[in-house]
Structure formats: structure tokens, C-alpha cells
Amino acid sequence: MALHDPIGFELFKNAIFAVADEMALTIFRTSYSGVLKSNMDYSTAVATADGRLVAQGLTIPGHLGSIPTALAAVLARFGDTIARGDIYVMNDPYAGGMHLPDIFMFQPVFAGDVHIAFAATVCHHTDVGGRVAGSNAADSTEIFQEGLRIPPTRLYAAGVPNDTLFDLIGTNVRMPVKVRGDLRAQQAACHIGERAILDLVDRHGVVEVIAYMDESIAHAERLTRAAIRELPEGAFSFEDWIDDDGVEFGKPIRLHVTFERRDDTLFADWSGSAPQVKGAINGTLGWTKAATYCAVKCILPPDIPNNEGVFRAIEVTAPLGTITNMAMPAACAARGLSGFRMLDCAFGALARMLPDRIPAAAEGGNTGISIGGYDAERNPFIYVEFVAGAWGGRPWADGADGHSSIFANMASYSAEVTEAEYPVECLAYELVPDREGAGQFRGGTPFRRDYRFLEAEGVLQVRSDRRDFRPYGLHGGQPGASSDNILNPDGEARRLASKVTMNIRRGDVLRHELAGPGGWGDPLDRDPAAVLRDVRNEIVSRERAEACYGVVIAPTGWAVDTTATPALRARLRAQRGWQETPFVSRTPNHPGADTRKA
């Protein structure tokens, strides 16, 4: 064994991450439900026999840290009784899970008689029962309304299936064929992981594989701590606000975090965040850790692996009984919303620490849209989609247009697949102009989707935010536009709340417009050529180009008026008067409005 061999170690490190990636592609190829094969809401990983994460696959950053937390619960429950041929599942948020639709699966890997690793997967399932199809309503008020809770349990014991558990799951969900099919996809991924890990054992031997896994974690920890030592000292705080919880409408919910570097450890304290709420947007401690780890990973060197070594250098605190660490019997099916918003809050604090490296707020996280019901033959259907949007302006570039959140890394459903598999017609899927936060580097351009419902009746759920508290801009950048939900936009045009559960009928149309991300830097400093390009691409109107960016486009031809533009910018600056450039730009009535300089 030659752990001092840097080439051998690098080859192994890449090989073990390739195992996790191959597991992820297996789920992509073999899953039944659209939320997996189209949205790709799942993660895969390899962990040591004692539950330490060695490698996470290429899918969801929002699952960072979740697999070790869930695996720790399995190890605590089964310990030394873990055997070859076992497979374990769980989803209970109060036993190490995240929310009930996310079912974890763990398969121990044995080389001979030696337990050397776990192959791990977590997938968002179309339905796990509960009061509303899709099991992710924002207006549930306790965990018992949200579906089937599975504590750490053997799905297979020494290769023998637990038929009672399979029957129990199948009986309690609306789409048993899809759920059992997706569970088999998870099993297939675990089997692929097991086979690939044993191939590494054949190549290196048991002792060396275990030593290399340990070194992969230690290596990541050394790199992370070295990078943290380079961060500025001091405490850096930020607050942001969620519109409401979908139950107590109009009641803002505070998020607050403080980052502090001490030597080679970074501390993240979520004290000051709101108490847990009635609605189902509460988060577990593991979910809060995931948002924190994701934000911190964005400021670390990109070649540091995603594993336990990174987590060891980041200490996360969240008081029990708050929205960032819920206590029984809080509901959490829509906890994704809070996680995305926690990422924005964490970025806000890190922007105080590193003002030239952090983007403005993104669109507020993906919007969850579910449509469920029964057709004329009483066959159930459940359409579950997570619509993700655009990035905030960056200190060096515009935000990405129509792009998934950093926390999600998820794809949107194609209109063709949606229409082929569900009673839903996609009438529009398009970028929306003039919704970006203006800035020297503008926020990305979000999009809208229009859905027409084709069955007799069904239940619509929408989990969105950033209606009242728009995505913030940084360093003079403007906030983005609010999100919107409109029922039948070409008819009654009824504006819905940001979070809604309601009945719909054949022909009803939902229009959802994502919020616009915030801008970075003073819009009057934006390159006029970039403004012209946005106008030509119909991302920014001529009127907005003048009002926000001070750029005049010649009335004929496509060119910047090089005489009128400097004069207009001078007038706009004079009208604005002398003032400090705000660190964070929010709407005037925002309770967290802050005009201090960075």
C-alpha cells in the first residue's frame, strides 16, 4: 500500500467519485417518475462502513450532508447486525430524514466478511400518501398529515425482501407502480455501486481501499481548512424574509445567519431565525446544514471533493424549535422553499465577508407545482414539477438566464414529455423581459410557464415565494421583480397567493412567473453595449434601458446613442443625488432593508 503515491491516490479519488456518478446515471435511466427522470431530484453517494461520506454524485447540492445524517440513524438502529444482502430504507424527518417524499436507501458492501462501505441513494418520490396528492402541500400543519413515515427499516434482510414493508408502502401511496418502480431504480443504483466498489477492491485490495477512502476524507478536510484560514476574520451577519408559510398569510418569517471564522473552522449560527411555523416549510437541522455547506462550497476552491472532510470544518448551529431546526410535530413537506431561501441568506452574509465573490439573490429557489387527481376510470395521476429559474448578478458577470438554482441543479420538464404523460398542456415556456434586477451585472432573466389542465377536476398545489420580499441586489444592484401566480390569465386573471392548494377544473390555466434575481453593482455603470444586446434579445425593453440603465437606443437601427446616453446617465445620477451605495438593495418596505456600505 502506497498512500504516499499522489498519482495512485488521485486515480482512486476520481474512481470513487465516478462510482457515485454512475449510480446517479443508473437512476436517471431506470426510474419511472418524471420528478426523477426529468427533474432529476435525487442524489447518490458512497460512504464508509461507519457512515462517513466519501463521494457524492453529480446531482443535487441540496442533499449535501443529508446522506450521512440519515445513515447515522440506520447505524444507530442496526449497528453490528448489518449483514451482506441487507438493504435499508427510511424517510422520517424526525429520525434523520429531510421530508417524507425523500426516501433514503442504503446497501452495505462486503468484501468477503469485511464490511467496507455503503452504497447510498435518496430520491424524491411522486407520492408517499397524506392528505394531498404529491405529499408536498405547503398548508399541512403537522407531520401526520403528510404521508407515510418510515423509520430506519430493513427493506431486504440477507437478500430476502421484506414483503410486509413493500405491501405497506404500496397500500399507502396513490401511485404504487411508480413508487415501487423508483425504489427498484434505487436498488439498481446501489447494486451498480456495490459492483464498482468491489472492482476497486479487486484492483487494490480491502486494506488499501479502506485506507484510500479515509485519506479522501482527510485530504478534503486539509484543503477545506487551508482555504478557511484565508478567509477574513470577524462575524458577518445577514437577514432575509420569507413571505409567509401558506397558512398565516401576510406574516413574514425571518431568516438570520452569522458566519464567523475562528482559525481553520467556519461557524454558521442560525440563531435569530423565526420559530417554527404552522405551515409545512419548516426544515430539519440536516436541511439547514445542506444549505450552509452549499453556500460555503461556493467560496472554496472548486477542486475540493464533496465529502465528510468539508463538513468537519464547518460548524452549523440552529436552535431547536425554529424554522431551521423543527421540533415535533411540525410539518415539513414544502421545506424545499426554506432551504433555497436559507441559501440566499447565507450568500448575503458571505457577501459581507467576500464582497467581490458573491452574487446577488437568485430567483428565490425553485417553485414546486403539483397537479393530482383521478381520471374518468378513477386511475390516479400526479404531476410533480420543480420550476427553477435564474441566478443573481455576479461580481464579474450577469446572472445565468433560465437556469436552475445553485442549490438544486435540477432540469425542467420538457413540454413534450409533460403533455405525453400527464393531463396537462404547456401553453407557454418563455423568458420574461424586464424582470431582472438591474445592475452593472444584471440578474438573470426568469421564465414563465402556462399550464392548461385537461381532466375533469384535480387539486393544484403551488409552493413559491419572493412575492412580497423581492430578491435583493448587492452593491447598488436593484432587486428583481416579484413572482406571480395567475389563474386563467386570458380570462378572469385571478391573482393567487404565492402558496396555494385549491381545486381546479378542465380548461383552467395556471400561469407561474418566477421572481427576477437581483442585480450586482450600479446599473448606471453597466456597459451600454451589454444593454443594447439585452434590448436586441428582448430581455430588456427600450423603456427599461433608459429608466434603469440610462442607455438610449437610437430610434432607427440598432445602436447606442453615444450623445444622449452620457447626458441621460448624468441626469439620473444628479436626480439620485449623492448617497452611499447600499450593500444590499431591497424594496423600501422590506423589514431587513439595509443601506450600510459593505
The three grid cell numbers given for residue 97, joined into one nine-digit string? 430524514
Give the span between the Cα atoms of 286 and 312, in whole angstroms.
14
Q: Determine the length of the chain.
A: 598
pLDDT tens for 298-354 read 999 998 998 999 999 999 999 999 999 999 999 999 999 999 999 999 999 999 999
pLDDT tens for 183-204 read 999 999 999 999 999 999 999 9
Give the span between the Cα atoms of 438 and 425, in whole angstroms.
33
Please state, as a whole number, how many other Cβ atoms lie within 10 Å of the Cβ of residue 337. Answer: 28
pLDDT tens for 76-112 read 999 989 999 999 999 999 999 999 999 999 999 999 9
**DSSP, residue by residue, 197-215:** HHHHHHHH-HHHHHHHHHH
The three grid cell numbers given for residue 420, joined into one nine-digit string? 405525453
Q: Could you tell me the residue ranges of all domains in the chain?
A: 6-223, 359-522, 524-580
pLDDT band at 595 (very low <50, low <70, confident <90, very high): very low
Give the span between the Cα atoms of 557 and 563, in whole angstroms.
16
**DSSP, residue by residue, 357-389:** T-----SSSPEEEEEEEE-TT--EEEEEEEE--
Give the span between the Cα atoms of 113 and 505, in whole angstroms.
59
Portion of the chain with pLDDT greater than 70, in percent: 97
**DSSP, residue by residue, 458-469:** EEEEEE---SSS
Partner residues linked to 510 by β-bridges: 451, 487
Please state, as a whole number, how many other Cβ atoms lie within 10 Å of the Cβ of residue 180. Answer: 16
Q: What is the pLDDT of residue 7?
A: 87
Q: Which of 523, 515, 514 is nearest to 585 (CA)?
A: 523
* CA angle, residues 94, 168, 132, in degrees to nearest 5: 65
Please, what's the b/e burial string for 203-218 (b: 16 or more CB within 10 A of its CB; e: otherwise)?
ebeeebbbbbbeebbe
pLDDT at 1 > cutoff 70: no
The bridge status of strand 380-387 relative to strand 367-374 is: antiparallel
Residue located via cell numbers 424517510: 91
Please state, as a whole number, how many other Cβ atoms lie within 10 Å of the Cβ of residue 1. Answer: 13
The bridge status of strand 234-242 relative to strand 160-161 is: unpaired
Residue located via cell numbers 418596505: 589
Dihedral sign of CA atoms 244, 248, 250, 255 in order: negative
Q: What is the pLDDT of residue 37?
A: 86
Give the span between the Cα atoms of 580 and 285, in whole angstroms.
38
